[in-house]
Amino acid sequence: MKTKNITRMALLLALSGLTPVAIAQTETETKTTTETKITKEKGDTAVVEVKEIPEPGTIAAGLRDAATFSIFTKALRASEVDLQLGTKGAFTVFAPTDEAFGKLKEGTLDKLFLPENKEKLRSLVLYHVVPGIFTSSELKNGEIKTANGEKVEIDIKTNTVEVEDSKIAKADLVLSNGVVHSIDKVMVPKSLDGFAGLDED
């Protein structure tokens, strides 16, 4: 059943005075799960909210379900990168923890999440995503190109692996469409230097 038909059904139920319902539907073509629900009723008008849910086992779903990545998950959703990481593909994600985001200058996150700064937030998020799958043992010294088009420097040390000036705290969370390495600091692409104090310690 297509989302359009689900929406029509939800509206008919609302207009007939029945209890609002939540409908979950999986599209077989793309395997993208959507949830449709009535969020408000006023007279003969029903407001229907449709949102996409990451496919189980994907990077977006794994980050969403982990307690330490709530801010990064919020950033994925706001920038709509979760749509990419919630379906098929092959990605490596260097995911900043909530503690890493807490190191940013006060007010930086608020500014990044403003609607008018969506593209800047998207650029920041994509700077943490690398096309292809690279486990910790496959990472090599040198530069690697990220999904925002800029490169990050990988530095293999005796006891740690650094990406730019961030350290990998936990490596190799393997998911259906890639691998996640948690990092202890938010990485800032050169294109965003100076924006909202991102390049300041």
- The whole-model pTM stands at 0.74
Q: What is the DSSP letter of 70?
A: H
User: What confidence score (pLDDT) does residue 30 get?
Assistant: 33
User: What confidence score (pLDDT) does residue 200 get?
Assistant: 56
**Residue ranges of domains in the chain:** 3-53, 59-197
pLDDT at 149 over 70: yes
Reported as a single tens digit per residue, the pLDDT across 170-184 is 999 999 999 999 999
Closest to 102 (Cα-Cα) out of 176, 200, 184, 190: 184
Reported as a single tens digit per residue, the pLDDT across 89-145 is 899 999 999 999 999 988 999 999 999 999 999 999 999 999 999 999 999 999 999
User: What confidence score (pLDDT) does residue 52 get?
Assistant: 58
User: What confidence score (pLDDT) does residue 195 get?
Assistant: 79
Write out the H or E segment, with its range, that includes residue 119: helix 118-126
Closest to 76 (Cα-Cα) out of 147, 155, 138: 147
CATH of domain 59-197: 2.30.180.10
Reported as a single tens digit per residue, the pLDDT across 2-50 is 444 444 444 333 433 433 333 222 232 334 444 444 445 555 555 555 4
